[in-house]
Amino acid sequence: MRITRITAYQVDLPLHEGRYAWSGGKSVSVFDSTIVRVETDEGYAGHGEVCPLGPFYLPAYAAGVRAGLAELAPHLIGLDPRQLAVLNEQMDRALKGHAYVKSGIDIACWDILGQVSRQPVCVLLGGRYGDDFVLYRAISQGTPAEMADSVARYRSEGYRRFQLKVGADADTDIERIRAVAAVLRPGDKLVADANTGWLAHEAARVVRGVEDVDVYIEQPCLSYEACLSIRRRTTHPFVLDETIDSIEALLTAHGDDAMDAVNIKISKFGGLTKARQARDLCVSLGIAMTIEDSWGGDITTAAISHLAHSTPPEFLFTATDFNSYVTVSTAEGAPQRNRGRMAASTAAGLGIAPRWDALGEPVLVIE
Ligand code: MG
Condensed to tens digits (0 to 9), the pLDDT of residues 255-288 reads 999 999 999 999 999 999 999 999 999 999 999 9
Local confidence pLDDT in tens for the 367 residues of the chain: 999 999 999 999 999 999 999 999 999 999 999 999 999 999 999 999 999 999 999 999 999 999 999 999 999 999 999 999 999 999 999 999 999 999 999 999 999 999 999 999 999 999 999 999 999 999 999 999 999 999 999 999 999 999 999 999 999 999 999 999 999 999 999 999 999 999 999 999 999 999 999 999 999 999 999 999 999 999 999 999 999 999 999 999 999 999 999 999 999 999 999 999 999 999 999 999 999 999 999 999 999 999 999 999 999 999 999 999 999 999 999 999 999 999 999 999 999 999 999 999 999 999 9
Span 203-218, pLDDT tens digits: 999 999 999 999 999 9
Q: Is 200 exposed, middle or buried, given 0-12, 13-18 or 19+ CB atoms closer than 10 A?
A: middle
Q: Are residues 69 and 146 in the same domain?
A: no
DSSP 232-259: TT--S-EEE-TT--SHHHHHHHHHTT--
Q: Are residues 50 and 131 in the same domain?
A: no
Q: Are residues 176 and 227 in the same domain?
A: yes
Q: Give the three-state DSSP class for 85.
A: helix
Neighbours of 4 (CB within 10 A): 15
> Could you tell me the CATH number of the domain that includes residue 61?
3.30.390.10
298-331 burial, b for 16+ CB within 10 Å, e for fewer? bbbbbbbbbbbbbbeeebbbbbbbbbebbebebb
Q: Are residues 79 and 112 in the same domain?
A: yes
DSSP 274-329: HHHHHHHHHHHHT-EEEEE-SS-SHHHHHHHHHHHHTS-GGGEEEE--GGGTBS--
Distance between CA atoms of residues 136 and 218, nearest Å: 14
Backbone φ, ψ for residue 10 (5° rounding): -105, 130
> Could you tell me the CATH number of the domain that includes residue 139?
3.20.20.120
SS3 percent helix, strand, coil of the chain, rounded to 5, is 40, 25, 40
Q: Are residues 172 and 30 in the same domain?
A: no
Question: What is residue 264's predicted lDDT score, i.e. its pLDDT?
Answer: 98
Percent of all residues in the chain with a pLDDT value above 90, rounded to a whole number? 100
Q: Bridge partners of 34? A: 10, 50
Question: What is residue 6's predicted lDDT score, i.e. its pLDDT?
Answer: 98
Q: Are residues 92 and 136 in the same domain?
A: no
State how many domains the chain has: 2
Report helix angle 298-309 to 99-117, nearest 10: 70
Question: How far apart are the two ends of the chain, measured CA to CA in Å?
Answer: 15
The Å distance, Cα 219 to ligand 1 centre, comes to 7
Q: Are residues 155 and 136 in the same domain?
A: yes
Q: Are residues 199 and 130 in the same domain?
A: yes
pTM for the full model? Answer: 0.98
Q: Are residues 107 and 188 in the same domain?
A: no
The Å distance, Cα 195 to ligand 1 centre, comes to 6
Give the domain range for residue 250: 124-350
Give me the active site residues, please: 165, 265
Q: Are residues 84 and 212 in the same domain?
A: no
Q: CB under 8 Å to 249, separation ≥6 — which residues?
A: 224, 243
Backbone φ, ψ for residue 341 (5° rounding): -135, 170
Question: What is residue 280's predicted lDDT score, i.e. its pLDDT?
Answer: 98
Distance between CA atoms of residues 228 and 44, nearest Å: 46
The Å distance, Cα 347 to ligand 1 centre, comes to 30
Q: Are residues 297 and 358 in the same domain?
A: no
Q: Are residues 154 and 270 in the same domain?
A: yes
Q: CB under 8 Å to 155, separation ≥6 — which residues?
A: 162, 183, 184, 185, 188
Q: What is the DSSP letter of 40?
A: E
CA trace torsion 330, 334, 335, 340 (10° rounding): 0
The Å distance, Cα 109 to ligand 1 centre, comes to 27
